[in-house]
Chains A and B, each alone.
Chain A
């Protein structure tokens, strides 16, 4: 099946620093990628939809200047948490949908990135 790789898996950083998380589709082209965050014992919360070659669409309540998303190619989207604070500590997961032509609605998930801000 399709593979989505996310990096890094774990990151610990000091408050005030910025952290970049990468999401790559390894064997298919992803016109659309999604970024989620998940707090312990809670479900996934969609943060934003990343569209290749255009600006990301952010969900209500998600600060676009705080969570910068770049989808520069059909295989890579990045999420940068700027000036991270302890409340940004969470599990961040990306997912991708294959390019039109194999649209089933199925999502392929990255392995997730656990961010801890000290």
Chain B
């Protein structure tokens, strides 16, 4: 089993749609959780940190369920510019931080 698993994708959605990304992690000792966005041929950029209480940033909502070891990202009213690969990232602190990336889910938003 992979340490961090994401929906394989790709997701193809029309503008304005709501898109949900799912991610599960295997290590219950995981401490920090993030969603990164990566555009084609570019470096990943932090989209949101994910907290147990859930957090929202405009059209983006991230949630964490520690009991289920599950992380989600919801994009509402999707825009063409949201097209990218979304990476679920989990960090462990095992004497030093270890960062584990999911394989990413590709999103295509079409007009």
Contacts and interface: CB of A to CB of B under 8 A. Distances in A.
Interface of A: 1, 6, 32, 34, 42-44, 46, 49, 91, 93, 95, 97, 103-107, 109-112, 114
B32 A43 contact: no
Contacts, number: 49
By secondary structure, the B interface counts as: strand
Interface stretch (B11-19, B67-75, B76-84, B95-103): B95-103
Interface of B: 31-32, 34, 41-46, 49, 87, 89, 91, 93, 96-97, 99, 101-104
A32 B96 CA distance: 9
A71 to B, nearest CB: 14
B42 A111 contact: yes
Given A32-B96, A43-B103, A104-B49, A112 B43 contact: yes
Contacts of A105: 31-32, 34, 91, 93, 97, 99
Given A43-B101, A104-B49, A105-B97, A110 B32 contact: no
Contact of B45 (A46, A109, A114): A109
B43 A97 contact: no
Query: Which of A1, A95, A105, A112 has its CB near the most chain B CB atoms (within 10 A)?
Result: A105
A49 to B, nearest CB: 8
Query: Which of B87, B101, B102 has its CB near the most chain A CB atoms (within 10 A)?
Result: B101
Contact of A32 (B42, B97, B101): B97
Nearest to A31: B96
A102 to B, nearest CB: 12
Contacts of B43: 6, 93, 109-112
Nearest to B31: A105
A22 to B, nearest CB: 15
A87 to B, nearest CB: 19
Contacts of A42: 103
A42 B9 CA distance: 12
A114 B44 CA distance: 14
